[in-house]
Amino acid sequence: MEQLAASVRARAVALMEQVLRGGAPLAAEYPLVLDPRFPGRVLAIEERGVVVSACAALVRDFVVGQHTVRAGLIGSVVTHPEHRGRGLATELLLRAERALAQDGAWLALLWADDPLFYDERGWRPVGCELDFVLESWQEGRLAGASGIRAAAPDDWGAIHRLYTRQRERVDRSIDETRALLAGPGIETLVIQRERDVVAYSCLGRGGDFARTIHEWSGADQDVLALVRAHMQRAKARGASGPTYLLTPPTARTLHERLRGCGLTCADGVLAQGKLLDPQAACALLAALAGPQAVVSIETLVESAESRPHIVLRGPAGESILPENDLLDVLLPARGRRTRVEALARETGLALDALPLPLFAWGLDSI
Ligand SMILES: CC(C)(COP(=O)(O)OP(=O)(O)OC[C@H]1O[C@@H](n2cnc3c(N)ncnc32)[C@H](O)[C@@H]1OP(=O)(O)O)[C@@H](O)C(=O)NCCC(=O)NCCS
């Protein structure tokens, strides 16, 4: 992805800070896109020396079980208040999507407070997370543990190792983990046993994830003890209201324990997504559908309009879906398997590896 000249980049970041943080600094919150040491990029539209619209973009390789899939993240989309409604953000989003696709991303993801703007530009809810809500009076339902303390920079290497044990994650370097953990407003706790840090958890992150534990790793009982410790610390600070725990759909044993404690969860959407490269998505579909599957893109004429469709063939027959519906099969919102099951019935393929349990931890979002 092309780098902006340093002065344009600085003005683009200043616009993001003005619009999103009332002028307060943003770089420490999003080091992977705003610190030039890391791979993220800032994109901008400039008119007569003024940056009028800007956004950030970051290519990430997501580890999903045995697969690694490349997706692009977009964030901090802003237009100068005096230049809104002229199509600038729409144009910049398209540029960001093209740049990410050129860098090999088949999918773009973003997290927006208000999804409507993106819905109207072809983005849709994708993926799944299970969000547990813990009311403050429920803290006693979780068992505690000894050895819990606030993390220090010395722990960041151990925390990174625990992060890389997650089956679903981003291929993140240790320097990236360090920079992310150093961000503002993150309460990171660890459990230390003898010399080893065996579990960690992060609550809050800058202006995001208020009262939310968004990243953790370790044995289930240790993670729950950390959740309890975050809740106790919140109470000691005088904070009221529930604590939220974000979990990937594959953390099934942790989910069982939480449900066993009488805690309830909601199926959440992971992000908003947009398909960037249908051919790469088809190759992924073929890899996930197994050796009996044959996948092709074919142009079908529908009421005088020709549109690309995906044809999936298996032992029992074939199934055709519009290219735009690929995400509903690969990464459906809330992990719903309705489309996958219909495809499996029509083709005779097992399709057990679908949907793809791609997951982004809190520090991975931009
Ligand atoms: C959202 C934002 C980036 C749009 O920038 P923009 O350059 O004006 O966008 P465009 O000109 O391409 O599109 C404008 C259209 O989007 C609509 N729009 C703007 N914000 C919207 C929202 N939150 N929901 C739905 N539609 C929205 C406008 O009403 C306008 O519609 P119209 O074309 O029918 O008149 C800009 O309003 C902004 O900076 N907002 C504050 C920061 C923000 O919320 N960023 C997104 C978080 S990642």
Domain at 36, CATH number: 3.40.630.30
Residues 6+ apart with CB under 8 A from 4: 12, 41, 42, 43, 44
* Residue 324 located in a structural domain: yes
- Is 234 within a domain? yes
In a domain, 197, yes or no: yes
Partners of residue 134 on adjacent β-strands: 243
Residues 86 and 46 in one domain: yes
- Do 249 and 141 sit in the same domain of this protein? yes
What pLDDT, on the 0 to 100 scale, is given for residue 3?
78
> Are residue 297 and residue 248 in the same domain, yes or no?
no
Instruction: Tell me if 189 sits within 8 A of 150, measured CB to CB.
Output: yes
> Does residue 149 share a domain with residue 46?
no
In a domain, 124, yes or no: no
71 domain residue, yes or no: yes
In the chain, the number of structural domains is: 3
Ligand 1 pocket, mutate which of 50, 51, 79 (most atoms under 8 A from CB): 79
At 289, is the pLDDT very low, low, confident or very high (cuts 50, 70, 90)?
A: very high
Rg, C-alpha atoms of the chain? 22
Q: Find the domain containing 47 and state its range.
A: 6-110
pTM above 0.85, yes or no: yes
120 lies in some domain: no
> How many angstroms is it from 124 CA to the middle of ligand 1?
16
Q: Is 201 exposed, middle or buried (0-12, 13-18, 19+ CB in 10 A)?
A: buried
301 and 232, same structural domain?
Answer: no
In terms of DSSP H, where are the helices of the chain? 6-21, 31-34, 88-102, 116-119, 156-163, 174-181, 220-236, 252-260, 278-289, 326-330, 338-347
Mean pLDDT of the 344-356 span: 96
Same domain assignment for residues 210 and 146: yes
**Is 168 part of any domain?**
yes
Mark whether 181 and 309 lie in a shared domain.
no
Structure tokens at 149: 């303390």
Average pLDDT, the chain: 96
Cβ of residue 243 lying under 6 Å from some atom of ligand 1:
no
Determine whether the shortest distance from the Cβ of 6 to ligand 1 is under 6 A.
no
Spatial distance between the Cα atoms of 77 and 89, rounded to a whole number of angstroms:
7
Per-residue pLDDT for 304 more than 80? no
Report pLDDT digits (tens) over 9-64.
Answer: 999 999 999 999 999 999 999 999 999 899 999 999 999 999 999 999 999 999 99
Phi and psi dihedrals of 22, rounded to 5? Answer: 55, 30
pLDDT at 122 over 80: yes
Q: Please check whether residues 291 and 237 belong to one and the same domain.
A: no
- Compute the average pLDDT of residues 106-129: 96
Q: Which atom of ligand 1 is found nearest the CA of 85? A: 11
Mutate to test the pocket of ligand 1, among 117, 118, 123, 365 (most ligand atoms within 8 A of CB): 117
Quickly tell me which residue has 């925390």 as its tokens. Answer: 159
Give the domain-ending residue among 240, 270, 300.
270
